[in-house]
């Protein structure tokens, strides 16, 4: 999931649960990831051969 999508998803969850919170801007999330040297695995779709 792209960081902008993550930001929107988390803000939507907060809004649905009526919490008066907001998540960090996606650029702050990116900087945090770089600071802690975190890596995220992306799912690779397997191609089916016929």
Report pLDDT digits (tens) over 1-41: 566 677 778 778 878 888 776 666 666 666 666 666 656 56
CA 40/CA 22 separation, integer angstroms: 23
The model carries a pTM of 0.37
CA 31/CA 8 separation, integer angstroms: 17
Please count the other Cβ atoms lying within 10 Å of the Cβ belonging to residue 11: 13
Gyration radius of the chain over CA positions:
15
Q: What are the sequence ranges of the domains in the chain?
A: 3-36
pLDDT at 11: 78
Give the residue-averaged pLDDT of 39-44.
64
Element (H, E) at 31: helix 26-36
CA 27/CA 40 separation, integer angstroms: 16
């Amino acid at each position: 999931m792209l960081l902008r999508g993550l930001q929107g998803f988390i803000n939507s969850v907060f809004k649905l649960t009526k919490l008066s919170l907001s998540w960090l801007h996606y650029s702050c999330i990116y900087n945090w990831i770089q600071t802690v040297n975190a890596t995220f695995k992306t799912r690779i779709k397997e191609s089916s051969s016929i």
